[in-house]
Structure 1
Amino acid sequence: MSDWAVKRFWTDVNVVPDKGGFAVKLDGRPVKTPAKAALVVPTQAMGQAVAEEWRAIDEKIDPNVMPFTRSANAAIDKVRVQFDDVAEMLAAYGGSDLLCYRATHPDPLIDRQAQGWDPLLDWADDTFGARLRPTAGIMPVEQDAAALRALAAPLHDATPFELTALHDLIALSGSLVLGLAVAAGRLSAEDGWALSRIDEVWQAEQWGEDEDAMQAASVKKDAFQHAHLFYKLSKDGALV
């Protein structure tokens, strides 16, 4: 399969070992990415997740409801071929990490941020030897270069599939530390998303919820949770 077909044409979907990973085959024919590379994923569990999406197709193929296939394609066609650039782009989040930019008022919001975010900054220090400094307001704070290098290291050590998941965990939350914490199991995806939304939730509590903003946040939350599942499947095949 080199392109998305218009309609289903296969009967059987199987996951088979292939090139040190696992390939999905449709009636014995290998699925390929949009760039015509072999769609070979690192774990059998990920292969099964991709295969289930192809089995679920009733008639027409809709990539919008095939998140594991889309993420696998991105890992192979995009992240793998520009791995260092992606890793460096994500590492840059450490210099402006969400967790470091705190409110100047009111006190309840300041306290909520400190209670939620300070333990994660401590975790980054304990885990990576990377101490980021928080600041009040929007003026940028220059972080220690050694700390930023330490936080960048796990990105460069990741596989393309892991980095694909980390991309969304970090970009959607606005925090390198929070994304790494969810990937490492320090936080659940649910808790990680909630901690990334402290400011937005506070504003909604004060002024009421905006329906469009809520809908956009729901879409992003689903993508964040998918990224966590994709990371787990990429690493060890376990959804725990």
Structure 2
Amino acid sequence: MTKPSSDNPKRFYKQAAIEKIEGGWTVVLDGRSIKTPARAALTLPAERLAKAIAAEWNAQEEYIDLAAMHLTRLANVAIDRVEDARDDMADELARYCETDLICHIAETPDELAEAEDSHWSPVRDWAGDTLGVHLVPVIGIIASPQPDASLEAARQHALGLDAFRLTGLLYAAGLFGSALLALAVEQDAMNAEDAFEVSRIDEAWQADQWGEDDEAKAATEARRLEAKALGVWFRALG
């Protein structure tokens, strides 16, 4: 039988496990510690996260699917990039607030607008009451200027997070198209899987009305798996 070809590296280890090290936990492959792309030690802040990343490596088969190893990639970003990019990441979160998905209610039909607002307004209220991030909802796709104090509140919240939580927060904002949903997940006010479904109310409504091709279904499922991994990430961080 012909072996499958792949651009991904072949699995070169038998077993991934975790070890306690100075400063936290790490993952070892056949006893050898994993390094990040920048050759830093993969030092993880929680045993539960180390176990989840080890499970990700153990789940690989003949080839290592690096693109699907979401937890490993998030850890690499947290270790290699965040401390040099912390201000930029906080600014990016504020920019998500300026065009936050859940502040844009559909003009029509009424059924969709009601579904969006019933799911999104509680998240907006929570963000304002809990974090001081009060964002103004609008009808349609044209963004409305958001209060400077709210943008700064979001920015300061991001700056106060450790590298691992900040990495997850920005990843969530990109996945959901919403800083507020990302903040709700990071603060454990909503789980990541539910936040993803809430973020795609319009998309799901359109699919119900007009159908969805296989490519779109596959893309949605891939993003759903990212949300699941994000949920594991935050639960592991505690």
TM-score, normalised relative to structure 1: 0.87
Q: How many residues align?
A: 231
**CA separation of 1:23 and 1:142: change in aligned 2, threshold 3 A:** same
User: Is the alpha carbon distance of 1:31 and 1:119 closer, same or farther for their aligned partners in structure 2, counting shifts above 3 Å?
Assistant: same
CA deviation digits over 1:27-72, x for unaligned, max 9? 4432111211111111111111222333445554442443322221
Counterpart-to-counterpart distance in 2, 1:7 and 1:220: 25
CA distance in structure 2 between the aligned counterparts of 1:25 and 1:113, rounded to whole angstroms: 45
1:73 aligned residue: 76
- Matches of 2:203 and 2:15, distance apart in 1: 46
How high is the sequence identity, in percent, across the aligned residues?
Answer: 39
Report the CA distance shift for 1:55/1:135 in structure 2 as closer, same or farther (over 3 A): closer
Letter in 1 for 2:39: K
User: Counterpart in 2 of 1:202?
Assistant: 205
Shift of 1:126: 1.0
CA contact 1:169–1:228 (8 Å) conserved in 2: no
Q: Give yes or no for contact 2:90–2:156 (8 Å, CA) kept in 1.
A: no
Question: For 1:197 and 1:55, how far apart are their aligned partners in 2?
Answer: 32
Kept in 2: contact 1:168–1:224 (CA 8 A)? no
| TM norm structure 2 | 0.87
Q: Is 1:188–2:194 an aligned residue pair?
A: no
Structure 2 unaligned blocks of 5 or more: 1-7
Q: Give, in whole Å, the separation in 1 of the partners of 2:22 and 2:134.
A: 40
1:51-103 deviation digits (Å, cap 9, x = unpaired)? 23334455544424433222212221233432221222122100111111111
Task: Quote the residue 2:4 is aligned against.
Answer: none
1:159 and 2:162 correspond: yes
Q: What letter is aligned with 2:12?
A: R
Aligned equivalent of 2:50: 47
Kept after mapping to 2: 8 A contact 1:102/1:136: yes
Question: Structure 2: how far apart are the matches of 1:15 and 1:225?
Answer: 22
| RMSD, matched Cα | 2.1
Matched letter for residue 111 of structure 2: P
- Is residue 216 of structure 2 the alignment partner of residue 216 of structure 1? no
User: Structure 1 residues 54, 209: closer, same or farther in 2, change over 3 A?
Assistant: closer
- Measured in 2, the distance between the counterparts of 1:64 and 1:219 equals 11
Structure 1 residue 150 and structure 2 residue 153: aligned?
yes
